[in-house]
Amino acid sequence: MPIDTTTPRPRRSPFIRPEVLPPFKLQRRDVAILRAVARLHLIDTAQMYRYIKIVCAPPPEPRDQRLKPKDPSGHSEVHLRRRLRLLVAHGFLQLPEAQRYLSAYSFKADGGSIPLVFSLGAEGAREVSRYEHHLDPRTAWSRKAKDVSPFTIAHSLEVSEFVISMLEAANGHDLTLRDHYDLLPEFPASRPAYHTSVFQLTATLPDTYRSILDPKDTRTDALVVHTKPDRVFSLISADGTQRTNFLYEADRETETVRPSALSNQATIRRKILGYWHAFKNNVHTTQWGFANARVLFQTHSQSHIDVMLKALKAEIPSGTGLFLFSTRELIATHGPLAPVWTQYARGETSTVSLVRAAEPAILASSTPPIPTP
């Protein structure tokens, strides 16, 4: 019987689970994929390909050099996409539905569709919970994937991109990156590792800030500010003698920078005050054991950095080395360890690199000014 080659074969949507599951056996790199999703929460195919090349050791050199794999990790992009689809089909991974709406308005610069975004499934959580102890075993993974919004996907992918870029840069500079969940064993055992507040800093603002509180805010703890960075990580030198800790904020320019009144809503002004007073009270040391740390704000434009620097100067006129600012474009072009970070300290604005930022973040002589609306 002749085969009809004129009619293209319909391609099955990756969001539709096949009625008959294909044969599947979990491999070593599949576990690495699941652990990557468990650590980054949301990650797309292109990011996963870069991550796997870093974390998976290269295979043994073949005797016949003609058979040497093109990819250093021995895992081609085509093979990776095939494994990802199998992991989705067998419930190890999920495809958040919200990315359908995101893909309708997002296109690659060279044409084509954007990469698929993956989140952890119930089977995958059970598998990697043996390695990633921060996973909460009580989480309803299917409902969590359904609750993901397009904004959450875009924000989480920015965080994943920064973490992968930092991992690539650290390997190139002979540095050790201790990222987020790697730090949990070093923290004081005051709460479960998967507790939501383990990476949250809490500070109480001085009474002088009552003059700028929102009149509608009648809470008794209105001066208590909670700040939770998108990522916490450490860079350690090869000999282990130098270590700098960082708190990363992925800013998508959706938050008000400096409102006239201090409310309970998330604003750049509230974050600056929260981090500043938390570090002045050494909360980072008592809670995490950090001797030093810096807060990194990554945003989308230089103009927005100028606005945030203006807000910083209004709150701390003398400046502080605690806050560093950069753009997503600069980091993607030059790398996160290049001198692409702007700081305002000692009354001057300068450009610095993270690998040279090993000094304490807080200036001992700095004192907060009287707040002004």
The string of pLDDT tens digits covering residues 218-233 is 888 889 999 999 999 9
Residue 314 CB coordination number (10 Å): 14
pTM: 0.85
Judge whether residue 318 has pLDDT over 60.
yes
Q: What is the pLDDT of residue 240?
A: 85
Element (H, E) at 55: helix 45-55
- What's the pLDDT band for 75 if we cut at 50, 70, 90? low
Structure tokens at 236: 């350690």
Judge whether residue 139 has pLDDT over 90.
no
71 compared with 287, residue with greater pLDDT: 287
> What per-residue string of b and e applies to 40-79 under the rule 16 or more CB within 10 Å gives b?
bbbbbebbbbebbbeebeeeeeeeeeeeeeebebbbeeee
317 compared with 101, residue with greater pLDDT: 317
List pLDDT tens digits, range 175-204. 999 999 999 888 886 666 666 688 999 999
Q: What is the pLDDT of residue 13?
A: 66
Q: What is the pLDDT of residue 105?
A: 52
Side-chain half-sphere CA neighbours of 82 within 13 A: 10
Provide mean pLDDT across the span 109-123.
78
Residue 109 CB coordination number (10 Å): 5
Q: What is the pLDDT of residue 155?
A: 93
List pLDDT tens digits, range 265-309. 889 999 999 999 999 999 999 999 999 999 999 999 999 999 999
Judge whether residue 144 has pLDDT over 70.
yes
Q: What is the pLDDT of residue 59?
A: 47
Q: What is the pLDDT of residue 217?
A: 80
Q: What is the pLDDT of residue 5?
A: 55
